[in-house]
Amino acid sequence: MNFGDPLLQQRTFSLPELEKEQEVMQQKIAEMKRNYQQPSQPVTPVWDEIDQVTASLTDKEFDYLQHNQEFQESSANIQQILHREYMRIMRPIVENNTKDGKDALDKHLTLLKRIQKTAKDEANKKEALMNEYIMQYSHLTWQEFIDMKNGKQPVPKTPKK
């Protein structure tokens, strides 16, 4: 085969040679991807160390840890990261590789689109109600205002003695 390239004109390649060369290149690419995607693991992963420390605690020590504000914040941060990464990995799997996942997502999207306008309308109504209360009826309690809006007669306040 001659592809019109001056460098290739010096040598003619057969189809089996090109296929073998392509296979070698694909293997090299696959190896590079494996090396890139799998960073070297530490000898003792941090997760294992955390598990060892928490496993060594007594129930009272663990209870103290669970009620420590700094520990709670740190744990919450890790949980948020885990959730984010779990969702990043699982979203395409659920949507593209599971029929029930794709169906559930489609139904959820349909539901979301259907109730989106209602949610906006309700939020706007509540905001308008709050604005009306603040601007015109702030002399009433919130409950008195709501009762008035619902057509209920206000309960007369008994004078203090």
Residues 38, 95 within the same domain: yes
29 within a domain of the structure (yes/no): yes
pLDDT tens digit sequence for 100-122:
999 999 999 999 999 999 999 99
Residues 101, 129 within the same domain: no
Helix/strand number for the chain, H first, E second: 6, 0
Residues 85, 138 within the same domain: no
51 within a domain of the structure (yes/no): yes
Domain limits at 146? 120-155
Q: What pTM, to 2 d.p., does this model score?
A: 0.47
pLDDT tens digit sequence for 30-39:
877 776 665 5
